[in-house]
Amino acid sequence: MQPGMTLRIGIAGISGRMGIYLAEEAAAAASLSGGISHSRPGPAGAPLFPDITALAAESDVVIDFTHASTVRAHAEALAKTETPWVLGTTGYGPEDLAAVAQAAKVIPVIASPNFCTGVNLLLLLAEKLGHALPANQYDAEILEMHHRQKVDAPSGTALAIGRAVALGRGVKLEDVMVSGRDGATGARKDGEIGFATLRGGQVVGSHSLLFTAGDEQISLTHHAFDRRVFASGAVRAALWLHAQPAGLYGMRDFLKL
């Protein structure tokens, strides 16, 4: 981008519910270059491009809230076009994460399951509490609820909370995670991090972290009332990311936490 020019932001998944909010926030804060959509028309007046490469060619940064199945292809395309990437997609696996890390060797990437400031403060507190509260005395449980259309469970934010607790305890989440208890599961083991998932209606996002001991309970809860809070956070992250060198960043880097 030339000095003095307005940042051009492209939206992958521009016709989705989040995509529409992202387009509005991008147009208000910078310049909306357009988007890609393979299902529905995008917002009125927003140019649509046939693929991620074409969108990247007309954008200074791309915000991506699409689907886990697109992560590897988008990582490769954006690295080739050297276009900074704001990744808000959730539900992707280790191979996808490796592709993101590979792209970050060439371009700046900020990846987060949640671009809301409040949630990222909760993650910081979750790590600190995980470190301070003995795992054999305080049982950690995470409860989340989202709208009925959400396709992945537990949510990316719930998993991020679990990883924060695990990091504070010095363990890997995969080694202590218990999700979806059903039937005769036996007594709870020390150190487990439990997950419970609820789906219904049009709940934007609700997450609670509970540490429960024999004589007290500590709870942290965040409720999102409007999807726009995620969109505005992602656009602010995009404005920041464009000036960063190649690398893989998180919201803590952006918020300086």
- For the annotated catalytic residues, the residue numbers are 146, 150
Given a cut of 70, whether residue 4 has pLDDT beyond it is no
Q: How far apart are CA 166 and CA 175, in angstroms?
A: 9
Label the pairing between strands 85-87 and 108-111. Answer: parallel
Closest CA to 31 of 52, 51, 5: 5
Q: How far apart are CA 123 and CA 220, in angstroms?
A: 10
**pLDDT single digits (tens) 101-152:** 999 999 999 999 899 999 999 999 999 999 999 999 999 999 999 999 998 8
Q: Domain 117-224 adopts which CATH fold?
A: Dihydrodipicolinate Reductase; domain 2 (3.30.360)
- Sequence-distant (6+) residues with CB within 8 A of 76 are 99, 103
Q: How far apart are CA 168 and CA 122, in angstroms?
A: 13
**pLDDT single digits (tens) 25-37:** 999 999 999 999 8
Q: What is the pLDDT of residue 1?
A: 53
Say whether 117-224 and 8-115+227-255 share the same fold. no
Global pTM exceeds 0.85: no
Q: What is the pLDDT of residue 193?
A: 98
Q: What is the pLDDT of residue 5?
A: 65
- Sequence-distant (6+) residues with CB within 8 A of 15 are 35, 37, 39, 40, 41, 42, 43
SS3 197: strand
Q: Where are the domains of the chain?
A: 8-115+227-255, 117-224
Q: What is the pLDDT of residue 45?
A: 79
Asked if 8 and 30 count as a contact pair (C-beta separation under 8 A), the reply is yes
Q: What is the pLDDT of residue 16?
A: 87
Q: Which CATH class is domain 8-115+227-255?
A: alpha beta
Closest CA to 7 of 228, 241, 245, 227: 241
> In which element (H, E) is residue 98 found?
helix 94-103
**pLDDT single digits (tens) 56-104:** 999 999 999 998 999 999 999 999 999 999 999 888 889 999 999 999 9
